[in-house]
Chains A and B, each alone.
Chain A
Amino acid sequence: MNLTKIALIRMAGQRCRIAPLFERKSETSPTMVSSSRLPRNSLFQWALTLGLVLLPGSRWADAGEGLMAWSFRVQGTVDMRPGNDYFAGPSLYYSNYNVFNHKLQLGASFLTNRPEAAWRRGVPVQDWYLLTPLWHWKRNGFFDPTFQMDMGWTWFDDEGLGLDNTAFIVAPSLGVNFNINQGRYGLHTCLGYQAITSSLVNPGLALVEIWAMF
Chain B
Amino acid sequence: MRFARKWSPVLLAMGLVGMGCQINQPECDSNCIDHWLDGPNYFDSSQDALRGTPAFNARVRLSTRDSQPDSSQLRLPVIICVHGFAATTYEWSEFADTVAAYNAGRSDSILVSRVLLGGHGGDIGEFQASTWRDWQATVLKEYDTLVARGYQNISFAASSTGGPLLLEAFAAGAFQKQAPRHVYFIDPIIVATDKFLTLAPILGPMIGNVEMEGTAEEQPYWYNNRPTEQLTELYTLINRCKNRLEDGQKLPAGVSLKVYKSKKDESADPVSALYLKKGLRQSGGRPIAVEMVESKLHVFTRLAGREKVSARDRQNQSRVFAEMIHDLSASLAENP
A binding-site residues for B, Cβ under 8 Å: 77-83, 85, 120-124, 156, 158-159, 161-164, 194, 197, 199-204
> How long is the Cα–Cα vector from A148 to B235 in the complex, in angstroms?
29
Contact residues of B between 253 and 309, Cβ < 8 Å to A: 263, 269-271, 273-275, 277-280, 290, 292
With an 8 A cutoff between CB atoms, is B150 at the interface? Answer: no
Q: Among the listed B239, B247, B292, which residue makes an inter-chain contact with A162, where contact means beta carbons less than 8 Å apart?
A: B292
Q: Among the listed A80, A159, A200, which residue makes an inter-chain contact with B277, where contact means beta carbons less than 8 Å apart?
A: A159
> How long is the Cα–Cα vector from A80 to B274 in the complex, in angstroms?
24
Interface SS, B side: helix
Q: Which residues of B contact A85 (CB under 8 A)?
A: 246
Report the stretch among B10-18, B45-53, B86-94, B197-205 that lies at the interface: B197-205
With an 8 A cutoff between CB atoms, is B196 at the interface? Answer: yes
Residue-wise, chain B 243-257 has the 8 Å CB interface mask toward A (1 for contact) of 101111100000000
Q: Is the CB of A161 within 8 A of B236?
A: no
Provided the pairs A120-B248, A159-B274 are in contact, do residues A77 and B239 lie with their beta carbons within 8 angstroms?
no
Cross-chain pair count, CB within 8 angstroms? 83
Provided the pairs A79-B202, A163-B274 are in contact, do residues A203 and B195 lie with their beta carbons within 8 angstroms?
yes
Q: Is the CB of B278 within 8 A of A122?
A: yes
With an 8 A cutoff between CB atoms, is B242 at the interface? Answer: yes
**B: number of interface residues (CB 8 Å):** 31
B binding-site residues for A, Cβ under 8 Å: 191, 195-196, 198-199, 201-202, 235-236, 239-240, 242-243, 245-249, 263, 269-271, 273-275, 277-280, 290, 292
Q: Which residues of A contact B245 (CB under 8 A)?
A: 122
Q: Among the listed A82, A158, A159, A204, which residue makes an inter-chain contact with B198, where contact means beta carbons less than 8 Å apart?
A: A204
Min CB distance A180 to B, Å, is 28
16 other contacts beyond A158-B271, A161-B270, A199-B271, with CB at 8 A cut-off? A79-B199, A83-B242, A83-B246, A120-B246, A120-B248, A124-B278, A158-B274, A159-B277, A161-B292, A163-B270, A199-B191, A201-B195, A202-B195, A202-B198, A203-B195, A204-B199
> How long is the Cα–Cα vector from A163 to B263 in the complex, in angstroms?
7
Provided the pairs A121-B278, A121-B279 are in contact, do residues A200 and B198 lie with their beta carbons within 8 angstroms?
no
Q: Which residues of B contact A121 (CB under 8 A)?
A: 247-248, 278-279
Min CB distance A190 to B, Å, is 17
Q: Is the CB of A78 within 8 A of B202?
A: yes
Q: Which residues of A contact B195 (CB under 8 A)?
A: 194, 197, 201-203
Q: Is the CB of B198 within 8 A of A122?
A: no
Q: Which residues of B contact A194 (CB under 8 A)?
A: 195
> How long is the Cα–Cα vector from A92 to B44 in the complex, in angstroms?
67
> How long is the Cα–Cα vector from A203 to B277 in the complex, in angstroms?
25
Q: Among the listed A156, A162, A204, which residue makes an inter-chain contact with B263, where contact means beta carbons less than 8 Å apart?
A: A162
